[in-house]
Amino acid sequence: MAEGKWISGLKPGTPIADAARVVLTERFAVVRQYLPLAANNPYEDVEYVHQLRVGTRRTGAALRAFSDALPRKSLKATKTALRTIRQAAGDARDWDVFLASLPGAKPFGTATAKPALDFLLGYAFGQRTAAQARLTATETETGPEFLTLSENLPTRTREPDGTDAPTNFGELAVQQLGALFAELTASAEANPTAPHDLHALRITAKRLRYAIEIFAGCFPPYLKETIYPCVERVQELLGEVQDAHVGIARLVDIRAIVGDVAPKQLTRVKKGLDALATSLRGKIPAGTKVFASWRKEWLGLMAALKLEVVASVVTA
């Protein structure tokens, strides 16, 4: 199966239309590969849904990077179809992660918490089943359209026009990564603490990560070997913080549902739900402390580098 991560074989001097054709062909292939697997055989391997979700994100990054080299109408239709698939895959993946986190969770290690574990497993499985029905429907309803669009769009790439438009793949790499480096650095300098601000920084890091995977061949190895792991790390650690915030909100909603639908059962599961919520809340300060360490590292890297890695595009 396709790994669908690094783009290789492109040179800085490659025409943008040619580079777009190569990148989009590879990115689209991953989504087409995993969509039927995730829709029809999701429990054979949970990685099918995970790889579909990641594949749609990488494809979205490629569409953003080469938007000026693509016909607007086809680009819009492709982005709409891709977003529909990504949302369906994301919903299913979120419940896969939630289900996987429950059995070994420390808050459920006591007898008084076991009713909550049993309840959450049943509730989450029901939600996962509903999400799978939506994913299967998406494959049936949107899959054929996406197949056609993804086969046609790479054949319609063109050179960007305009006096300020980059003239080759290397110049596009400098333009794209320069903007994303600046955005992530500015976000880090702002020292965010609120959940939505941390989540916004994580999204920027994710976009930079996926862009590096496209353009790494235009730069010295330092970009791939040092900068990329640092970007990847903040995405992962803030993902854990975000998961904790989302998990707490989810438990609040579940508790409200139980209270409305089966109030007598709430006393059976309340201790376990509260224990899990407490555990999740404890992950947030730990995650933000690690983020503070990462922030210092990142700003140090940028101060030393002064974005020279972005400006030193190889011209060969």
| Predicted local distance difference test score (pLDDT) of residue 306 | 60
SS (H, E, C) the chain: CCCCCCCCCCCCCCCHHHHHHHHHHHHHHHHHHHHHHHHHCCCCCCHHHHHHHHHHHHHHHHHHHCHHHCCHHHHHHHHHHHHHHHHHHHHHHHHHHHHHHCCCCHHHCCHHHHHHHHHHHHHHHHHHHHHHHHHHHHHHHCHHHHHHHHHHHHHHCCCCCCCCCCCCHHHHHHHHHHHHHHHHHHHHHCCCCCHHHHHHHHHHHHHHHHHHHHHHHHCCHHHHHHHHHHHHHHHHHHHHHHHHHHHHHHHHHHHHHHHHHCHHHHHHHHHHHHHHHHHHHHHHHHHHHHHHHHHHHHHHHHHHHCCHHHHCCCCC
Out of 71-85, 175-189, 294-308, pick the least confident. 294-308
Mean pLDDT across the stretch 93-111?
A: 90
| Predicted local distance difference test score (pLDDT) of residue 93 | 95
Say whether pLDDT at 2 is over 80. Answer: no
Share of the chain above pLDDT 70, in %: 95
pLDDT higher at 6 or 1 = 6
**Contact between 202 and 270 (Cβ < 8 Å):** no
**Contact between 129 and 68 (Cβ < 8 Å):** no
| Predicted local distance difference test score (pLDDT) of residue 168 | 96
Averaged confidence pLDDT in the chain: 92
**Contact between 220 and 314 (Cβ < 8 Å):** yes
Say whether pLDDT at 315 is over 70. Answer: no
**Contact between 271 and 116 (Cβ < 8 Å):** yes
Give pLDDT tens digits for 297-309.
999 998 877 645 4
| Predicted local distance difference test score (pLDDT) of residue 64 | 97
| Predicted local distance difference test score (pLDDT) of residue 313 | 42
Say whether pLDDT at 314 is over 60. Answer: no
The whole-angstrom separation of Cα 281 and Cα 252 is 13
Mean pLDDT across the stretch 284-303?
A: 92
Mean pLDDT across the stretch 190-207?
A: 94
| Predicted local distance difference test score (pLDDT) of residue 1 | 46
| Predicted local distance difference test score (pLDDT) of residue 316 | 39
Say whether pLDDT at 130 is over 90. Answer: yes
Banded model confidence at residue 218, pLDDT cuts 50, 70, 90: very high
Please compute Rg for the chain using Cα positions.
22
Nearest CA to 313 among 173, 159, 160, 168?
Answer: 173
| Predicted local distance difference test score (pLDDT) of residue 227 | 94
| Predicted local distance difference test score (pLDDT) of residue 163 | 79
Give pLDDT tens digits for 43-66.
999 999 999 999 999 999 999 999
**Contact between 82 and 59 (Cβ < 8 Å):** yes
Say whether pLDDT at 162 is over 90. Answer: no
The whole-angstrom separation of Cα 199 and Cα 238 is 7
| Predicted local distance difference test score (pLDDT) of residue 6 | 96
| Predicted local distance difference test score (pLDDT) of residue 164 | 86
Distance between terminal CA atoms of the chain? 32
Mean pLDDT across the stretch 154-165?
A: 92
| Predicted local distance difference test score (pLDDT) of residue 149 | 98
| Predicted local distance difference test score (pLDDT) of residue 3 | 57
Mean pLDDT across the stretch 140-167?
A: 95
Banded model confidence at residue 4, pLDDT cuts 50, 70, 90: low
Burial per residue of 95-123, b for 16 or more beta-carbon CB atoms within 10 angstroms, e otherwise: bbebbeebeebebbeeeebebbbebbeeb
Mean pLDDT across the stretch 115-129?
A: 95
Share of the chain above pLDDT 90, in %: 82
